[in-house]
Amino acid sequence: AAGVIQSPRHLIKEKRETATLKCYPIPRHDTVYWYQQGPGQDPQFLISFYEKMQSDKGSIPDRFSAQQFSDYHSELNMSSLELGDSALYFCASSLGLNPLTGAYGYTFGSGTRLTVV
């Protein structure tokens, strides 16, 4: 079965550079969520999109932005990177308003490991 695809798997950037992370949800899933997980930390919710509109916002820095495109894939753009942005970034997808599929929870991708040097 198709899963959530994230690219790239690994990314190394220097301070003050920009990074773009991509997420391709499971086909027919209309909701995408982004999470950040620092070393030794639990996943922290950043932002979500339902039907290409922002649906919720968590502790996402102003330097970060995200969007969901017409094909439902999503991109997380990170500018002016700081050392503290080094983390695993997970994307998850679900059928947002489907009472059946939504009942089985989200499906997470394998993550993008961002290292800022």
Interaction with other proteins in 67-86: which residues (CB under 8 A)?
none
What is the Cα–Cα distance from 110 to 4, expressed in whole angstroms?
Answer: 8
**Residue 90 binding other proteins, by CB under 8 A:** yes
What is the Cα–Cα distance from 38 to 44, expressed in whole angstroms?
Answer: 9
The nearer residue to other proteins, 61 or 96, going by C-beta atoms, is: 96
The nearer residue to other proteins, 43 or 116, going by C-beta atoms, is: 43
What is the Cα–Cα distance from 70 to 105, expressed in whole angstroms?
Answer: 23
What is the Cα–Cα distance from 20 to 101, expressed in whole angstroms?
Answer: 29
In the complex, minimum distance from the CB of residue 116 to other proteins, in angstroms, rounded to a whole number: 17
Give the interface segment with other proteins, choosing from 12-20, 62-70, 79-87, 104-112 (CB under 8 A). 104-112
Sorted by sequence, the CB contacts under 8 Å of residue 68 that are 6+ apart come out as: 32, 49, 51, 52, 53, 74
What is the Cα–Cα distance from 104 to 42, expressed in whole angstroms?
Answer: 21
Interaction with other proteins in 16-55: which residues (CB under 8 A)?
31, 33, 35, 42-45, 48, 50, 55
Contact residues for other proteins, defined by CB under 8 A? 4, 31, 33, 35, 42-45, 48, 50, 55-56, 58, 88, 90, 92, 94, 96-99, 102-111, 113
